[in-house]
Amino acid sequence: MNAESTVIAADPVGAPSALDRPFPRAIEVATLSLACVVVGGVWLGAHTVMTTSMTFPAVLLAVAASLLAVAVVMVSRVKGFSWNTFRRVGRWALLAYCVSAGMIEFAFVHNKAPHNVIQVVSGMLVVFALDVPFLIATTVARYHQD
């Protein structure tokens, strides 16, 4: 097929394209959640060999989990969102990030990190393993037109 024989179907009059549809700031909220997890993870990685307070990383974990929940609710209220695409993309991204999170968890366990550090790291890795696939799947599904 050449370029002249390709026919592009026009949108019905008044139907916004995927680029023009309003979309909540869920991507930004989820990215902020990811930033909290990364900062908390780096902080924990730097402080695992010494006795230190877990207040800062625990607060970051709570904020990250709350922001991710808010982002999920924001996306769940979008009319015409391509949930099939979200699931197809999200499950493979989730698989990949669960493997990554598992390897990071193994590093902390293998290096005999204190129990309280393992608990907070595990929570952060759960949020991380959900956050990135959510971002990927939401971005793809947002621009996919059924």
Per-residue pLDDT tens digits for 56-101: 999 999 999 999 999 999 999 988 888 999 999 999 999 999 999 9
Number of residues written out for the chain: 146
Q: Is the pLDDT higher at 40 or at 21?
A: 40
CB atoms within 10 A of CB 114: 14
Residue 8: band (very low, low, confident or very high) from pLDDT cuts 50, 70, 90: very low
C-alpha closest to that of 42 among 63, 30, 57: 57
Q: What are phi and psi of 112, to 5 degrees?
A: 55, 50
Residue 146: band (very low, low, confident or very high) from pLDDT cuts 50, 70, 90: low
- CB-CB contact of 56 with 118 (8 Å): no
